[in-house]
Structure 1
Amino acid sequence: MTDDLVTAPWDPLSPSEVAGLMARTDRPWLIAGGHAIDLFVGRTTRAHADIDVLLLRRDQQAVHEVLPGWEIYAAEPPGQLRRWLPDETLPTGVHDIWCRPGADSPWRVQFMLDEAEGDEWISRRNAQVRRPLGELRHTSASGLPFLAPEVQLFYKARGRRPKDEQDLETVLPHLSGDQRAWLREALTLAHPDHPWLSRLG
């Protein structure tokens, strides 16, 4: 990614601030990343350097709908941020969108695009991993929609960064048997030797 853009500071919106912006669209969205973990367990578990919002690829124009006048950049592989203008359809290889109010502003929110066919979510990392869209959404006590924790952990499993390991430790005691079973099956398909498998029972 372009160095000066990537190194620009972050001042992430709060989940409630994201909800205020997303009220401008009727397209479905979910808080994702570490904030989704916090919403699941009902408390702040660690510091967060950014905030992630999940959209389906087919709903990508929601970003422009809710952020008129903002600078919106697509993260184009293998590592380039480029301006994304309204009405352009992003190619399937682009999954991340970085947003800030203006050139002198910090980054405030990142959107992640996920795949779907009809009413079925499909993991962009392994098309064998699928789920009904209705099972992706959880809602916090304050009414905020967030990504199901077992799906969020599936995404985090590939990186296994310290914060991902911390998120697993935080979430694991709160997962139901069905949630553990789904995550175990998904990891078996995508990462059959993953060390988390032994933790899931």
Structure 2
Amino acid sequence: MSDNKEVWKPLTVTEIQMIFNKIPIRWWIAGGWALDLFLERTTREHKDIDTLILRCDHIILQEHLHDEWEMFKAYKGKLIPWNQEEQLDSHFDNIWAKKKGETTWAFQVIILDTEDKHWIYKRNSEIRKLLDDIGLESPSGVPFLRPEIQLLYKGGSSVIREKDVIDLNNVLPKLSDKKLHWLKKSLSIQFPNGHPWIDVLDSYTKII
């Protein structure tokens, strides 16, 4: 990616809320911050901040942010300017944003694909949920991705990072058996030959 890939000065959750609440679209906090919102405490340092929107809303998002923000498509290790009114195909699902005139990245936008009012997990389309059932809301009114879905994104990645394992261990004790079972089932679908987190999940859940 660009030379300033790692130069981040992320917005706070409250700042994201103030910006996105003015845009007439559905959105959610994702990543490690989503898990901390679920836990209602900050468990570790967060070097960036992720938001989620639906693909059908990405042009609306751009229209509302274009005057103040520069936005780039992250694709195959490169950051490519997102041109005004450019419709994004399904292989573009990660947008980086920075304030115009600044060099530090402020937030990322992940674009979700949907079908028949369902969110579709891009790594395996067999895994899906109703859109109305993918999010929760913090006491201060911040929408965020459900923890079991966020952990699927972390565990389903090609590289599981140390912070992903930390997040897993922080969140699992707080998940219901139903959520644990959904996460285990989803990982088993994506990884039919096994996944290192499945044994960990088995130690928490009573559902076979």
TM value normalised by structure 1: 0.94
Aligned to 1:189: 189
- Please list, as runs of the form range in 1=range in 2, the aligned pairs for 1:18-167 lying within 5 A after superposition: 18-69=16-67, 70-76=69-75, 78-157=76-155, 158=157, 159-167=159-167
Q: 5+ residue gaps in structure 1?
A: none
Per-residue CA distance 1:123-157 (angstroms, 9 max, x = gap): 01111111111111100111100000000000000
For 1:188, give the aligned amino acid: S
Distance 2:138 2:55 in 1: 24
Structure 1 residue 5, shift from structure 2 partner: 4.0
Distance 2:24 2:139 in 1: 21
Aligned to 2:206: none
The answer to whether the Cα contact below 8 Å between 2:114 and 2:120 also exists between their aligned partners in 1 is yes
For 1:183, give the aligned amino acid: L
Per-residue CA distance 1:106-135 (angstroms, 9 max, x = gap): 110100011101211100111111111111
SS in 2 for 1:18: helix
SS in 1 for 2:102: coil
Runs of 4+ in structure 1 off by over 4 angstroms are none
Per-residue CA distance 1:54-107 (angstroms, 9 max, x = gap): 11112112431332321110112x221111022111121111100001243311
The answer to whether the Cα contact below 8 Å between 1:72 and 1:83 also exists between their aligned partners in 2 is yes
SS in 2 for 1:189: helix
SS in 2 for 1:152: helix
For 1:13, give the aligned amino acid: L
Aligned to 2:9: 11
SS in 2 for 1:43: coil
In structure 2, the CA distance between the partners of 1:21 and 1:65, relative to structure 1 (3 Å rule), is farther
Q: 5+ residue gaps in structure 2?
A: 203-208
Per-residue CA distance 1:146-174 (angstroms, 9 max, x = gap): 00000000000023200000000010000
Distance 2:21 2:66 in 1: 13
State percent identity of aligned pairs. Answer: 39
For 1:54, give the aligned amino acid: L
Distance 1:87 1:5 in 2: 25
For 1:6, give the aligned amino acid: K
Structure 1 residue 14, shift from structure 2 partner: 0.7
The answer to whether the Cα contact below 8 Å between 1:33 and 1:52 also exists between their aligned partners in 2 is yes
Query: Number of aligned pairs?
Result: 198
Does residue 1:174 correspond to 2:174, yes or no? yes
Distance 2:60 2:30 in 1: 16
- Over the aligned positions, Cα root-mean-square deviation in angstroms equals 1.2
